[in-house]
A and B are shown apart, each in its own frame.
Chain A
Amino acid sequence: MNWLKRAKQGIKTWRKRDIPDGLWEKCPSCGEILYRKELIKLLSVCPKCRYHFRIDAFTYIGILTDRNSFTEMDAGLVSGDPLGFRDSRKYRDRVKDARRKTGMNSAIATGTARLDGRKVVLAVMNFGFMGGSMGSVVGEKITRAARRAVQERIPLIIVSSSGGARMQESILSLMQMAKTSAAIALVSNNAIPYISIITNPTTGGVAASFAFQGDVIIAEPKALIGFAGPRVIRETVGEELPEGFQRSEFLLEHGMIDMIRSRQELKGVLGFVLDSLMRGAATRVKEEHREHDRTTISLIR
């Protein structure tokens, strides 16, 4: 008997898919087959290799904040098409598709929330919305979020994931790097702590602006982080890329970030950092007031 040949015609194997959709997920990093419900409980982190599956903005918000504490701001802002941009498709159509696909109006959700009871302003980018690219809406929402943090004197946390500036708004997108930087400068000058959390991937205009302006910068394990994308570097410069190049671990080694933490650990670390820095921020305000009192006193005299 031949075990290798099919004895009869017409015998069908099951479709070459050993896992039905929806129930199981394969880790792209180590190949481990994971039960989806279990994976979600683990905050979409592979238990074997710590690979962080991509999650959308609201899932992230759920992980970082106290239940039902997130109040969204500026959810109604949507992209216009200031330049009438058109490549193979119209920009407006691309935005429409992204809105339908993600259920969000833009590539970022911003709002106020509580993190183990502490009030914070939180902004989380959504890579699923046109690659998390930054155009005028992302720039405006970050700016408003930052100003809100200053107004209320509460810390600012931004979770980045973005391919960079949005090409379809060209020069206006580029300017959002300057605009968000102005907003972060305002936060910094008011001694409001700003913690930047960098997730996979964060490159280009977002990396070269607010993502790297945090007082404390935390990255998820193995996230791709850099200015130019690896393909661009390889192509334009013809240089071979070293092992682990532009991954979180590489950046930590080169002194570019403070630490690498997985999603499960983030809330705890954030709490400690915020408590420590906010105490200082409060004393600084008191001192400024003292200074003010003294001048008032001298005026009265």
Chain B
Amino acid sequence: MGVRMLEFESPVYELEGRIEKLKRGGCSESSSEVARLEERLQDLERRIYRDLSPWDRVLLARHPQRPTTRDYISMICDDFLELHGDRCFGDDTAIIGGIARIEEKRLMVVGHEKGRNTKEKIRRNFGMARPEGFRKTLRLMRMAEKYSLPIVSFIDTPGAYPGVGAEERGQSRAIAENLKEIFDIATPVVVVIIGEGGSGGALALAVGDRVLMLENAVYSVISPEGCAAILWKSKERAPDAAASLRLTARDCLECGVVDTVIEELHGASHRDPEGNAAVVKRELLAFIKELEDLPADVLLGARREKYFSIGYFEGKGI
């Protein structure tokens, strides 16, 4: 598979290529040179991926090689059995869900799936769910509650699908139903925003007891392009909109919308998928452990209070 990269990443890949070449050459005096260059690579990664503009993070969150939900499931879980369908209309391939095993732990895993290559992206509708997808998620979450399985939810979607069929089958209602019902599902819910957290379509799967966000993931109420089209009357201003929307992981942490930001190894998760998945796995399991033994009413009460406390306003009520 050819390496696809973003413009600002090219120095990193260039240097990596040089190191690769030296290594292949294999002569003795080059090994010290390799070590020196590898150090430089680390330094370069740190510099390039640390000081990114919000728009660069949007590009990274949408990076064609960024690990998707399916990648995380296969890297984190020892077993996964996918369950299909909403029992109403169809099976939405933009969302996957099923029963998973990590070591001795059993879980319910759900998440948006964007797909990797063009063919799969089309099949997955680029991770944009229709009502069937949200109803499938709710069905699995209720099942998880019934059998005391903790829920892990991976978020990666541009948004809910804006189509005629989706509207006819109640896109608003489907999202609204998930948002309300999650406050009654008495089992721990841990959410990981791994890529794009696009508006209501993301939120429908993203309400939980703990919300984790990867360093280069983004989360916002509208896409930068959509926001630019409305407020700047031009999609070209998307980078400005991205900055105004405060959609980076750090911003979301500051607003109290996410609980933890997971730093991505080697600057971005597509540069070290396995390493990053291991970190995500460790964090997930720790949070589940922390939540697992809470009585149902404490868990649900705390979940409700967590969301009641989000918001910023001035003035007093009477």
In the bound complex, what is the Cα–Cα distance between A254 and B89 (angstroms)? Answer: 14
B154 contact set on A, CB distance < 8 A: none
Distance of A185 Cα from B307 Cα, bound (Å): 12
Q: Are B176 and A207 in contact (CB under 8 A)?
A: yes
Tell me if B314 counts as interface (CB < 8 A to partner A).
Answer: yes
CB of B180 within 8 Å of the partner chain: yes
In contact, B316 and A172 (Cβ under 8 angstroms): no
> B263: shortest Cβ distance to chain A, in Å?
20
Asked whether A173 is an interface residue with its Cβ less than 8 Å from the other chain, the reply is yes
How far apart are the CA atoms of A176 and B222 in the complex, in Å? 14
A288 to chain B: closest CB distance in Å? 15
Residue pair B308, A183 in contact (C-beta under 8 Å): yes
Bound-state CA distance A211–B171 (Å) is 13
B interface secondary structure, majority: helix
Q: Which of A183-220 contact B (CB under 8 A)?
A: 183-186, 188-189, 203-205, 207-213
Contact of B311 among A86, A175, A185, A189 (CB under 8 A): A175
State which residues 30-83 of A face B: CB under 8 Å: 72-80, 82-83
| Complex-state Cα separation, A216 to B310, whole angstroms | 28
A87 to B222, CA, bound (A): 14
Report which of B163, B180, B222 forms a contact with A184, defined as CB distance below 8 A.
B180
Bitwise, B244-256 to A at CB < 8 A (1) or not (0) is 1111000110010
Q: A232 with B162: in contact, given A82-B312, A182-B308, A256-B170 (CB under 8 Å)?
A: yes
A25 to B318, CA, bound (A): 38
For A226, the chain B residues whose CB sits under 8 A away are 167, 171-172
Instruction: Point out the residue from A181, A205, A225 that lies within 8 Å of B183, measured CB to CB.
Output: A181
Evaluate whether A209 and B160 lie within 8 angstroms (CB atoms) in the complex, with A80-B314, A172-B255, A254-B170 already known. no
Residue B184 interfacial (CB < 8 Å): yes
Cα A226 to Cα B161 in complex, Å, equals 12
Assess whether A19 is interfacial by the CB under 8 Å rule. no
1/0 contact trace for A238-258 toward B, CB 8 Å?
A: 010110011000000011100
Task: Please tell me if B149 contacts chain A, counting CB pairs below 8 Å.
Answer: no
Query: In the complex the two chains form, what is the Cα distance from A72 to B240 in whole Å?
Result: 39
In Å, the complex CA distance between A240 and B171 comes to 18
| Residues of A contacting B200 in the complex (Cβ-Cβ under 8 angstroms) | 165, 174, 177, 204-205, 208, 227
A233 at the interface (CB under 8 A from B): yes
A139 within 8 A of B: yes
Q: Assuming A167-B221, A174-B221, A208-B176, is B312 touching A136 (CB within 8 A)? A: yes
A173: chain B residues at CB < 8 Å are 221
Nearest chain B residue, comparing its CB with the CB of A228: B162
Size band of the A side of the interface?
Answer: 35 or more
Q: Distance (Å) between the CB of B101 and the closest chain A CB?
A: 30
> Which residue of chain B has the shortest Cβ distance to A143 in the bound complex?
B308
Min C-beta distance of A213 to chain B, whole Å: 5
Using an 8 Å CB-CB cutoff, how does the interface string of B293-318 with A read, 1 for contact, 0 for none?
Answer: 00000000001100110111111111
B247 and A181 contacting across the interface, CB-CB below 8 Å: no
Q: Let me know if B318 and A75 touch, CB within 8 A.
A: yes
How many B residues are at the interface, by size bracket? 35 or more
Q: Is B141's beta carbon under 8 Å from chain A? A: no
Known contacts A171-B221, A237-B162; is-contact A227 B311 (Cβ 8 Å): no
Q: Whose C-beta in chain B lies nearest to the C-beta of A189?
A: B184
Q: Report A-chain residues with C-beta under 8 Å of the C-beta of B245.
A: 83, 167, 170-171
Which segment of B79-87, B107-115, B225-233, B270-278 sits at the interface? B225-233
Q: Which of B194-239 contact A (CB under 8 A)?
A: 199-200, 203-204, 207, 219-222, 226-227, 230-232
Chain A residues positioned under 8 Å from B255 (CB to CB): 82-83, 171-172
Instruction: Check B176–A181 contact: CB distance below 8 A.
Output: yes
Give the CA-CA distance A205 to B201 in the complex, in Å. Answer: 10
Residues of A within 8 A of B219 (CB): 171, 174
| Contact call B313/A236, Cβ cutoff below 8 A | no
Tell me the smallest distance from the CB of B75 to a CB of chain A, in Å. 28
| Residues 107-130 of B at the A interface (beta carbon under 8 Å) | none
- Could you say which residues of chain B place their CB within 8 Å of the CB of A181? 176, 179-180, 182-183, 207, 307
Residues of B within 8 A of A140 (CB): 311, 313
| B36 interface residue per 8 A CB criterion | no
A residues less than 8 Å from B227 (CB atoms): 167
Is B173 a contact partner of A87 (Cβ separation < 8 A)? no
**Do A175 and B257 form a contact, CB below 8 Å, given A204-B200, A245-B164?**
yes
> A211 to chain B: which residues have CB within 8 Å?
172, 176
Identify the closest chain A residue to B228 (Cβ). A87
Of all chain B residues, which has the CB nearest A75? Answer: B318
Check B180 against A87 for contact (C-beta < 8 Å): no
Q: Which residues of A contact B312 (CB under 8 A)?
A: 80, 82, 136, 169, 172
27 contacts between A and B (CB under 8 A): A74-B318, A76-B317, A77-B316, A78-B314, A78-B315, A80-B313, A82-B312, A87-B232, A140-B313, A165-B199, A166-B221, A170-B222, A170-B246, A171-B221, A171-B246, A177-B179, A177-B200, A178-B203, A181-B183, A182-B307, A208-B172, A212-B177, A213-B179, A226-B171, A228-B167, A237-B164, A255-B170
Identify 4 new A-B residue pairs, CB closer than 8 A, beyond the known A171-B247, A178-B310, A185-B183: A77-B316, A140-B311, A179-B310, A254-B168
A-B pairs with lowest CB-CB distance, top 7: A228-B162, A74-B317, A136-B311, A181-B179, A82-B312, A87-B231, A207-B172
